[in-house]
Amino acid sequence: MIQGKKIFITGGAGFIANTLIGNLIGDNQIVAYDNFHRDTLTGSAFGKHPNLTIVRGDVLDPDLLTKSMEGADIVVHAAAIAGIDTVVKDPVKTMRVNMLGTANALEAARINGMSERFIDFSTSEVFGSKAYRVSEEQETVSGSVGEARWVYAVSKLAGEHLAHAYFKQYGLRTVTVRPFNVYGPGQTGEGAMQTFIQRALNNETIYITGDGSQIRAWCYVDDFVEALMLCLECPEAVGHSFNIGNARAVITILGLAQTVCRVLGSKSEIVFRPPLSADIAVRIPSVEKADEVLGFKAKVDLEEGVARTAEYFRQLPA
Ligand SMILES: NC(=O)c1ccc[n+]([C@@H]2O[C@H](COP(=O)([O-])OP(=O)(O)OC[C@H]3O[C@@H](n4cnc5c(N)ncnc54)[C@H](O)[C@@H]3O)[C@@H](O)[C@H]2O)c1
């Protein structure tokens, strides 16, 4: 149980942060630091909570970041440029925000003497284009230079190495998480799951990039945030990286579109489009380390997660 702490969250206006804030805000002081490139927070149930302080700031502004972090017991560094379309359109910004932003956040935590936990967000993309039941010990892979998609993985991997370096060299209590396709209420951006659900709810055409044979494992956000809570609480987590996902909720992208339509009773047509960039054929985690060290097991199956996410989008004001 985390109580009476000051918790500083970069990317605090984002999707995953929003569910995390919901878990922590009753008993802790939260500072959400975000440049509002995306915004789940404003319309959420906690946007005006008395325990929440919002700082509009950029992780590329080290002075404001360091000053705003003063007195934090815990830092959750979730700010990043994510989403394949955004990454491909702006690879320079992606590298700068993800790499330099993480360097700034780690240094700010060190300067402020942050004592309990620094959570770093990496990505499952560090395992490259064929990631079948990948474990943390497996080698990380990056595709060819010049292929914009890999900018995201490389920038996140650099941040992950830096987080481990801060742990080794300065004793900063870092934990890195590698999310595998997290989805759920509050998600924004261009990811397949919320796009499919929103289009299915309106009986609009669902577009699939590629032939739909790409395989993914889908992790509901409540499960993911439970793993984050364990990373904050469990002393053995410090200095480690964890794959966090649901290795049983595995399906092709075409299968996902069909499942969404079936679960929501949608009449959407499914249409295929050429891919924008290199794609990942298969991405399924091994989550044994998270189970052994943290005691984490994902609970929400795909159909239940789709139904709960759709309920959220149904209730959003038009
Ligand atoms: N959702 C997933 O499946 C997934 C998968 C792999 C990794 N991740 C990582 O998890 C973290 C949270 O992801 P999410 O799904 O909540 O994404 P999100 O885009 O909803 O949240 C990221 C937040 O960072 C903020 N941000 C972007 N640039 C910033 C900057 N320069 N300064 C300050 N804030 C900035 C955005 O405004 C946004 O609110 C990210 O680091 C992301 O890369 C997520």
Q: Which residue puts its alpha carbon closest to atom 26 of ligand 1?
A: 79
> For domain 6-180+219-245, which architecture applies?
3-Layer(aba) Sandwich (3.40)
pLDDT in tens, 83-107: 888 898 999 999 999 999 999 999 9
Q: Which atom of ligand 1 is nearest to the CA of 83?
A: 19
pTM for the structure as a whole = 0.97
Question: Is the Cβ atom of 20 under 6 angstroms away from ligand 1?
Answer: no
* Residue 251 pLDDT class (50, 70, 90 cuts): very high
Question: Is the Cβ atom of 189 under 6 angstroms away from ligand 1?
Answer: yes
Q: Which residue puts its alpha carbon closest to atom 12 of ligand 1?
A: 78
* DSSP count for the chain of H helices, then E strands: 11, 15
* 250: three-class secondary structure by DSSP: strand
Q: Where are the domains of the chain?
A: 6-180+219-245
Q: How far is the CA of 125 from the centre of ligand 1 (A)?
A: 14
pLDDT in tens, 265-317: 999 999 999 987 778 889 999 999 999 999 999 999 999 999 999 999 999 87
Query: Which residue matches tokens 């002081």?
Result: 29
Higher pLDDT among residues 47 and 290, named by residue: 290
Question: Is the Cβ atom of 65 under 6 angstroms away from ligand 1?
Answer: no
Q: How far is CA 280 from CA 72, 132, 179, 269, 275, in A?
A: 38, 11, 15, 24, 11
Q: How far is the CA of 9 from the centre of ligand 1 (A)?
A: 11
